[in-house]
Amino acid sequence: MFANSRELLRDAAISGNPWTASLHLRVEPPAELTEREWEALSRHTGLLILAGVKALSEGQSASLGQQIGNLSLPDLQTLDDVVAKNLARHRKHLSLDGLSALSDNQAAALAGHNGQLSLSGIQAFTRRQLECLAQLPHPLTLNGLRFLTPQECHILSAHRNSLALWHYVA
């Protein structure tokens, strides 16, 4: 984490005041942050990019689920069902582009997200996952998707908002 970013985060944790500027933190490892600092992140209302976070605990994901700005976890590699449910509580753009796979339960949880969802690190989805994600009422970005069958195209056609498939090859 950048030193000045850590100082800003510590000050926000102590004061209890939110801040709105974009904040890009490199956190290695995530346990380095205190519980108060994770809570301070939940009050951040600007773009929050947490690079270096490869996994989240239940408590960390609960804090981030309350964050009201755009949230990007570009290096997140794993999540369990509880973490997926907690992150789905987030209200704006949620980018989980570091993930390379999801379970059906995690896809169902994330389909309840109330904002744009990006899962561009995943190259293939199960039919059940696509059925869940197609129900998301907000923009959906699946830029890592490489191939779709006609059935999968039909499933995604049920999505009623913008759908990004930039790297899809027919």
Q: Provide the domain count of the chain.
A: 1
pLDDT reading at 17 higher than 60: no
Helical ranges in 71-120 per DSSP H:
81-88, 104-110
Which tens digit of pLDDT belongs to each residue from 73-87? 999 999 999 999 999
Distance between CA atoms of residues 165 and 122, nearest Å: 11
170 lies in some domain: no
The burial class, CB within 10 Å (0-12 / 13-18 / 19+), for 8 is: middle
pTM of the predicted model as reported, rounded to 2 decimal places: 0.85
Average pLDDT, stretch 134-141?
Answer: 95
Q: Which one has a higher pLDDT value, 123 or 39?
A: 123
100 lies in some domain: yes
**pLDDT, position 13:** 45
Q: Which one has a higher pLDDT value, 147 or 125?
A: 125
169 lies in some domain: no
> Which residue segment(s) compose the domain that 85 sits in?
3-164
Query: Residue 52: which CATH number?
Result: 3.80.10
Average pLDDT, stretch 47-75?
Answer: 90
Helical ranges in the chain per DSSP H:
3-15, 35-42, 58-65, 81-88, 104-110, 127-134, 150-156
59 lies in some domain: yes
